[in-house]
Amino acid sequence: MKRDYVVKVKPVTDLCNLKCKDCSRCITYEADLAKKYVMSSEMVDELVVKSLAYCNGGNLRFEFEGGEPLLASLTYFKYFVGCVEENNLNGTKVSYQIVTNATVLTQEHCQFFKDYNFEVGVNSDGSKQVHNIMCRDRFGRPTFGLLQKGIKLLMQNGIEFFAVCKVNKTTLKFLKKSYEFYKKIGATRLDLRLSLMNDWDNPQSEKYALNAQEYFDFHRQLLDLYLDDKKRGSKISIKYFDDLIARVKGEKVKCACGGEGYCECQWTVDGDGSMYPCSFYMDKDRLLGNVMDVDLEKMYANEVMQKFVSASYKHHGDCFDCSVFDLCKGGCRRFCDRDGDSRLEKNVYCDGIKKFLEYLQTAVL
Residues of this chain that interact with ligand SF4 (CB under 6 A) are 257-258, 263, 266, 278, 280, 312, 318-319, 322, 324-325, 328, 330-334, 346-347, 350, 353-354
What minimum distance in Å lies between the beta carbon of 62 and ligand SF4?
Answer: 18
Q: For the range 274-281, what are the long-range contacts, defined as Cβ-Cβ under 8 Å and sequence gap of 24 or more?
A: 275/299, 277/304, 277/305, 277/308, 277/309, 278/308, 279/8, 279/10, 279/65, 280/332, 280/334, 281/308, 281/334
- Report the residue number, 49 or 332, with the smaller CB distance to ligand SF4: 332
What minimum distance in Å lies between the beta carbon of 212 and ligand SF4?
Answer: 10
- Report the residue number, 137 or 264, with the smaller CB distance to ligand SF4: 264
CA 354-347-255 angle, 5° bins: 70
Q: Would you tell me how many other CB atoms lie within 10 Å of the CB of residue 311?
A: 17
- Report the residue number, 180 or 339, with the smaller CB distance to ligand SF4: 339
What minimum distance in Å lies between the beta carbon of 271 and ligand SF4?
Answer: 20
DSSP 196: P
Q: Which amino acid is at 90?
A: N
What gap in Å lies between CA 164 and CA 250, rounded to an integer? Answer: 27
What minimum distance in Å lies between the beta carbon of 304 and ligand SF4?
Answer: 14
- Report the residue number, 46 or 337, with the smaller CB distance to ligand SF4: 337
What minimum distance in Å lies between the beta carbon of 349 and ligand SF4?
Answer: 8
What minimum distance in Å lies between the beta carbon of 352 and ligand SF4?
Answer: 9
- Report the residue number, 133 or 311, with the smaller CB distance to ligand SF4: 311
DSSP 53: H
- Report the residue number, 219 or 354, with the smaller CB distance to ligand SF4: 354
**What is the C-alpha R_g of the chain?**
20
In this structure, the dihedral spanned by the alpha carbons of residues 38, 39, 40 and 43, taken in order and rounded to 10 degrees, is 160
Helices 73-87 and 107-115: crossing angle, nearest 10°?
10
